[in-house]
């Protein structure tokens, strides 16, 4: 279920983040792992993920700065765990 933020009169806030990986495979692993975590409908934030070569691209849209910050912080916590797991299982990510 996707949230329609355009139905509100508040201006939309957007944050775009590009996470570079050392290999296309590591970026794909991160993408496939993180894309299954949907934002909660009441969270007020919409996340869009894509992968382009070695880059994982994330776009967040929200109507409230606090909700945008919370969504990004939560994603970064998950991303940190994914990176640590890739490192543990012999991925190309260097520490």
Tell me the pLDDT tens digit for each residue of 35-89: 997 777 777 889 999 999 999 999 999 999 999 999 999 999 999 999 999 999 8
Question: Would residue 94 count as lying in a domain?
Answer: no
- Overall domain count for the chain: 1
β-bridge partners, 45: 62
Question: Six-digit token pair at 81?
Answer: 């765990």
Write the CATH number for 77. Answer: 3.30.310.50
State the Cα–Cα distance between residues 46 and 48, nearest whole angstrom.
7
């Amino acid at each position: 279920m996707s949230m329609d933020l355009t139905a509100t009169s508040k201006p939309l806030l957007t944050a775009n983040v590009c996470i570079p990986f050392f290999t296309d495979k590591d970026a794909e692993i991160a993408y496939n792992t993180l894309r299954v975590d949907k934002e909660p409908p009441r969270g007020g934030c919409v996340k869009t993920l894509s992968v382009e070569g070695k880059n994982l691209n994330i776009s967040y849209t929200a109507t409230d700065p606090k909700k945008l910050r919370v969504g990004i912080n939560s994603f970064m916590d998950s991303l940190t765990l994914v990176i640590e797991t890739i490192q543990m299982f012999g991925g190309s990510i260097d520490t």
